[in-house]
Structure 1
Amino acid sequence: MDFQSSLFDRAVTTAVSDGPGVRSLDVAERIRLTRGAWVDVLRNFVMGADDVLERLVADVPWRAERRPMYDRIVDVPRLVHTYVLGEDLPHPLLTTARDALSAHYLPELGEPFVSAGCCFYRDGRDSVAWHGDTIGRGKHLDTMVAIVSFGDPRRLALRPRGGGESTSFEMGHGDLLVMGGSCQRTWEHAVPKVAHAGPRISVQFRPLNVF
């Protein structure tokens, strides 16, 4: 995959000069949604995101999936891989990010983040349809999903289940968005297709048995 990583990291290098690491989650902005849902947003959460992106592109064992749709089998419009409990993550900054998220949200979540689902959006044609992470415990219980984005900015859209006013967030290189409270049960999220976009990888940290 051909990309210019220095273009993606420009916001980090101009805003923060302390070297690779993660920003304090104490400065994340919490945005209250309806029905007990909320999102936390922290720009430039991962500092040194260029190196993480390069490692993700090169080292993750990406796979293409297919799924039934009506009367045919279609390609899933993105590449995927999941690191489960006990597996090493492909970059130490991802381990640092997961540990920081687990420590910060433990009082609310009551458990650590243990898995890391990775999605590779190769260009603007790759996307994910409206959904909530409601396979497993997320179908019945409040939980959290923490998403860190690497690469070209893409819009993450959210809408209430059953109708209501939607909202969206542009996730840039190294940015963090955490969906919490009832968000997985009462809201849906999507990454829509766009006319033009470069490669982008999202890493979704989840607690045990949340998919």
Structure 2
Amino acid sequence: MAADLQASLLDAFEDPALGSLSGIQRTELSRGAWIDVLPGWLTGADQVYERLAADVPWREERRQMYDRVVDVPRLLCFYGENEDLPLPILDEARDSLSEYYADELGEPFRTAGLCFYRDGRDSVAWHGDKIGRGNHEDTMVAILSVGEPRVLALRPRPGSNTGPVSSTIRHPLGHGDLIVMGGSCQRTWEHAIPKATGRIGPRISIQFRPRGVR
């Protein structure tokens, strides 16, 4: 059972709306990888969280892990191309990102994967989004977070000669924060949502991707 959401005072009385992307800040990583971060891009994010938590058809998954099948420690939902997203503000976010990155990405964001981290026990292990084109092409994955902040950690992929694995970058993301991972990031770096202890509230992430990237 997820913990209750600790509402943000900034979001408590605001209708959902997107700010300008002009204030986004880029950090160059290594070997052509970079991240863009914009805190609070979505105002009224707590309302978006509440609607998504209640209305999205969340599902549990089980995966083979070595010699046994285990529960995936988060709830999931995927919206493919031409599927209606659960809220109009998410269509607006996808279209705004597609327009902002049009010259750099060269194509629109087309799909949306949603993850529901109910509490600190839910997590995702170190990985890159390398299923499909992300395994051999530069691409982008844009993540919009609603709910309470959870750390998204990034580190050079072991064996990729990008630097020491100990050089981990951590961004607490929630309440409408945006992060975009671009360039070679999915091939040469990894990202994760580590497990957390203490009073950890729920978070939902919305991952916008181009065609053929998972």
The TM-score normalised by the length of structure 1 is 0.93
Q: Verify: 1:57 aligned to 2:63, yes or no.
A: no
Shift of 1:51: 1.8
CA RMSD across the alignment: 1.6
Write the distance in 1 (CA, Å) between the matches of 2:36 and 2:8.
Answer: 21
Q: Which residue of 1 aligns with 2:213?
A: 210
**CA displacement 1:57-100 (0-9 Å, x = unmatched):** 11111100001111111000000010110111111111111110
Q: Which residue of 2 aligns with 1:47?
A: 43
Among candidates 143, 146, 149, match of residue 142 of structure 2: 146
Whether contact under 8 Å (2:4, 2:201) holds in the other structure is no
Whether contact under 8 Å (1:11, 1:44) holds in the other structure is no
Higher helix fraction (1 or 2)? 1
Structure 2 unaligned residues grouped into runs of 5+: none
Whether contact under 8 Å (1:21, 1:96) holds in the other structure is no
Write the distance in 2 (CA, Å) between the matches of 1:11 and 1:187.
Answer: 33
Q: Which residue of 1 aligns with 2:179?
A: 177
Write the distance in 2 (CA, Å) between the matches of 1:159 and 1:69.
Answer: 23
Write the distance in 2 (CA, Å) between the matches of 1:104 and 1:13.
Answer: 28
Q: Which residue of 1 aligns with 2:154?
A: 158
Shift of 1:2: 6.5
Q: Which residue of 2 aligns with 1:117?
A: 113
Q: Which residue of 1 aligns with 2:129?
A: 133
Shift of 1:172: 2.1
Write the distance in 2 (CA, Å) between the matches of 1:181 and 1:198.
Answer: 32
Shift of 1:4: 5.3
Q: Which amino acid letter does the alignment assign opposite residue 181 of structure 1?
A: G
Write the distance in 2 (CA, Å) between the matches of 1:11 and 1:132.
Answer: 33
Structure 1 unaligned residues grouped into runs of 5+: none
* Percent identity between the two aligned chains: 61
Whether contact under 8 Å (2:134, 2:187) holds in the other structure is yes
Write the distance in 2 (CA, Å) between the matches of 1:61 and 1:12.
Answer: 25
Q: Which residue of 1 aligns with 2:7?
A: 8
Write the distance in 1 (CA, Å) between the matches of 2:125 and 2:105.
Answer: 26
Whether contact under 8 Å (2:149, 2:172) holds in the other structure is yes
Shift of 1:47: 1.3
Q: Verify: 1:198 aligned to 2:201, yes or no.
A: yes
Q: Which amino acid letter does the alignment assign opposite residue 146 of structure 1?
A: A
Q: How does 1:55-134 map to 2 (within 5 A)?
A: 55-134=51-130
Whether contact under 8 Å (1:142, 1:181) holds in the other structure is yes
Q: Which amino acid letter does the alignment assign opposite residue 103 of structure 2?
A: P
Whether contact under 8 Å (1:150, 1:200) holds in the other structure is yes
Whether contact under 8 Å (1:9, 1:48) holds in the other structure is no
**CA displacement 1:23-81 (0-9 Å, x = unmatched):** 11111011111111110000111111122111111111110000111111100000001
Runs of 4+ in 1 over 3 A off after TM superposition: 1-5, 11-14
